[in-house]
Structure 1
Amino acid sequence: MTTHPSPTRLMLVTPPVEDADAMAFRLMQAMAGGDVAAILLRLTPGDDRSRIERVKRLAGPVQGNSVALIVEDNSLVAARGGADGVHITGGPQAIAEARASLKTERIIGVGGLRARHDAMDAGEAGVDYVMFGEPRPDGSMPPLPAVVERAGWWAEIFETPCVAYAPDADSIEPLIETGAEFVALGAWAFAEGQDIRALVEAANAAMSACAARKAAR
């Protein structure tokens, strides 16, 4: 996953996955809708072997579409499953452990950042991206204006790419306008009855339109 000055690119954050085949089908639908930079794969609890098998099942179809597969919070499962990286939510010690385990061979991204200085510390630790706005551990969401402010501040000042998490379809455009390199669509995008292909198409269209407006200024 590389930085693209314009347009913003899309990341998808899965709900916790137990059935890899069902998720593979949904991801193929999503990727048929247009450009997706990365999939952040969240897994239901289980032993490492079963989790590794789920990652392997999804790595092929995802990476076959030139999309990065990133696994949440388990460097061992990410590496042995053939994923492209790991997404850390456990703070500085977890970042250091991931770097020691994965070296520079895989993407290391960071979420769960509560304050500006947490993000700056992560950036100084050499992570490949920081994420703002994802659900808190209790499932609640930070207010969108705060996420817009945080993503805009980061995108303007720092070189480390920023991912802005969209809590719903209406928030996609305001987050694109922040200049964040990536906008993430979460579990809501995978809900039953949600046309994820159309959602990806619409998000990409909004990103291209924003890039065109900025280029015209």
Structure 2
Amino acid sequence: MSAPGPADRCRLYLITPPALDPLAFRDTLARALDAGDVAAVQLRLKGVDDDAIRRAADALRPVAQDRGVAFLMNDRADLAVQTGCDGAHLGRTDGDLRAARKLLGPDRTLGATCHDSRHLAMEAAEAGADYVAFGAFFPTGTKATTHRPDPEILTIWSETTEIPCVAIGGITAENCGVLVRAGADFLAVIGAVWNHPEGPEAGVRALNAAIARAAAL
């Protein structure tokens, strides 16, 4: 994942549901990625052991990589390397960023959760993060959130650094416009795609259409 240039637009960053059957989800993921532009997929499984994460990565990683989509591992830089992922995303309590940067090497992507703090984002950048994630911008049922940044943080960040920023938290086709216009390079989405009433393909299409409308304003 690299920073979009001036002529490029904000792109989708899909996060998997926290529980899934890898073999069944493989076709679901393929349909979503074939429906429109997606920059990355993050494997984010909760409450499972390392073997289950490895099996999921082995099943889903080729689906993304064969389509030129980056496949990232949540929390675990070590498993990202072991399973051939394109990088890892670390939350605030998921390990040391400098150690993860060293483990991933120069060619894999490292992302970092920074909640509502430009200070944390600067520290992450100094530790070697390739992108920083701010949020949650909207209410979300995915996880409990205590941080609710103003979209202005995206504007300030994009105007003062070249490191891309990801917006996350309750993002839908209906509310994403403000984040696109504020300067988000990527929109991290879960429910708006996987829980879309017409299926994930429709979710991807709706979000990409909303991004294009917002970028045109």
Aligning the two structures, in what range does the TM-score lie when normalised by the shorter sequence? 0.7 to 0.9
Q: Distance in 1 between matches of 2:41 and 2:216?
A: 26
Distance 1:192 1:211, change over 3 A: closer
Match of 2:155 among 152, 158, 165: 152
* Structure 2 alignment gaps of length 5 or more: none
The amino acid that maps onto 1:152 is T
How far apart are 1:93 and its partner, in Å? 5.5
Q: Distance in 1 between matches of 2:88 and 2:82?
A: 12
Match of 2:144 among 139, 145, 152: 139
Indicate yes or no: 2:212 matched with 1:208: yes
Q: Distance in 1 between matches of 2:94 and 2:117?
A: 13
Indicate yes or no: 2:164 matched with 1:161: yes
How far apart are 1:166 and its partner, in Å? 4.6
Question: 1:94-173 maps to which residues of 2 (within 5 A)?
Answer: 94-134=96-136, 139-140=144-145, 142-143=147-148, 146-169=149-172, 170-173=174-177
TM-score (norm 1): 0.86
Instruction: Name the counterpart of 2:183.
Output: 179
Q: Distance in 2 between matches of 1:82 and 1:72?
A: 13
**2:115–2:147 CA contact under 8 A, matched in 1:** no
Distance 1:17 1:163, change over 3 A: same
How far apart are 1:149 and its partner, in Å? 1.8
Instruction: Name the counterpart of 2:24.
Output: 22
**2:193–2:201 CA contact under 8 A, matched in 1:** no
Distance 1:114 1:4, change over 3 A: closer
The amino acid that maps onto 1:206 is A
Considering fraction of residues, name the structure with more helix. 1
Instruction: Name the counterpart of 1:193.
Output: 197
How far apart are 1:77 and its partner, in Å? 1.4
The amino acid that maps onto 1:109 is G
Q: Distance in 2 between matches of 1:48 and 1:111?
A: 22
Instruction: Name the counterpart of 1:83.
Output: 85
Q: Distance in 1 between matches of 2:145 and 2:71?
A: 25
TM-score (norm 2): 0.86
* Structure 1 alignment gaps of length 5 or more: none
Q: Distance in 1 between matches of 2:4 and 2:195?
A: 29
Distance 1:41 1:47, change over 3 A: same
Identity percentage over the alignment? Answer: 33
The amino acid that maps onto 1:2 is S
Q: Distance in 2 between matches of 1:17 and 1:38?
A: 19
Q: Distance in 1 between matches of 2:144 and 2:197?
A: 22
How far apart are 1:136 and its partner, in Å? 10
Aligned length: 211
Q: Distance in 2 between matches of 1:94 and 1:194?
A: 40
Q: Distance in 2 between matches of 1:148 and 1:192?
A: 24
Q: Distance in 2 between matches of 1:200 and 1:137?
A: 18
The amino acid that maps onto 1:208 is A
Instruction: Name the counterpart of 2:10.
Output: 8
Distance 1:177 1:141, change over 3 A: farther
**1:163–1:182 CA contact under 8 A, matched in 2:** yes
1:26-68 CA-to-partner distances (Å, cap 9, x unmatched) read 2122112200000111013333233112101101111111100
**Which has the higher mean CA deviation after the structures are superposed, 110-119 or 169-178?**
110-119
- For the aligned residue pairs, the C-alpha RMSD in angstroms reads 2.4
The amino acid that maps onto 1:94 is D
